[in-house]
């Protein structure tokens, strides 16, 4: 099950289909893996608070992933995205907010599944998986553009 919670009206004002886009991207990232994921579409203040409390990094960011303990199965974890940060990042990279949201949700869910990008080999593998999933969703390669790299916060 994919649950999408919207805490920032910015998401639905700018992108009325934000919940459906996030759900579709999360489902695609999970593929055949069984489990529940919560995607929280929040504002930057909420993301900054979480980033400060769980990562000792007191600033907003685009996406945070919080893997659940194995004992919480089937809950795999939570993915949290900050509206203004994601919107500004999409604009700066020349992407639609819809495509950027899809990418960041896929990225966040892959973190919940244990993928990471701590070194170059892991980053290449994770980016290739993201490209494949996004292509299935009809989203262009997010790393193809000159400014395509996303700021990676990773799992909390």
Average of per-residue pLDDT across 139-155: 63
Helix segments in 2-136, DSSP class H = 9-14, 18-30, 44-55, 83-92, 97-112, 120-136
- Which contacts qualify for 123-132: CB closer than 8 Å, 24 or more apart? 130/103, 130/106
The pLDDT, as a whole number, for residue 123 is 85
CA-CA distance, 33 to 112, in Å (whole number)?
11
Average of per-residue pLDDT across 49-59: 95
Domain residues of the chain, as ranges?
A: 2-136
Helix 120-136 with 18-30: angle, nearest 10 deg: 120
Residue 150: name the closest of 14, 6, 136, 134 by CA.
134
**What value does the mean pLDDT of the chain take?**
91
> Given a cut of 90, is residue 151 above it in pLDDT?
no
State pLDDT tens for residues 112-143: 998 888 788 888 899 999 999 999 999 999 98
Fold of 2-136: Collagenase (Catalytic Domain) (3.40.390)
> Given a cut of 60, is residue 156 above it in pLDDT?
no
Report the predicted TM-score, pTM, of the whole model to 2 decimal places: 0.91
* Rounded percentage of the chain residues whose pLDDT exceeds 90: 83
State pLDDT tens for residues 76-115: 999 999 999 999 999 999 999 999 999 999 999 999 998 8
């Amino acid at each position: 099950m994919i649950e999408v919670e919207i805490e920032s009206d910015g998401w639905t004002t700018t992108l009325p289909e934000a919940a459906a886009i996030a759900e579709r991207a999360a489902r695609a990232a999970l593929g055949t893996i069984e489990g529940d994921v919560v995607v929280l579409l929040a504002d930057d203040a909420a993301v900054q608070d979480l980033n400060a409390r769980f990562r000792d990094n007191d600033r907003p960011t685009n996406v945070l992933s919080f893997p659940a303990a194995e004992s919480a199965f089937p809950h795999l974890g939570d993915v949290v995205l900050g509206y203004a940060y994601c919107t500004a990042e999409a604009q700066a990279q020349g992407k639609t907010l819809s495509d950027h949201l899809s990418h960041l949700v896929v990225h966040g869910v892959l973190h919940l599944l244990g993928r990471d990008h701590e070194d170059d080999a892991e980053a290449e593998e994770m980016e290739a998986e993201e490209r494949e999933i996004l292509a299935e969703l009809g989203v262009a390669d997010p790393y193809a553009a000159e400014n395509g790299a996303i700021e990676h916060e990773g799992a909390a």
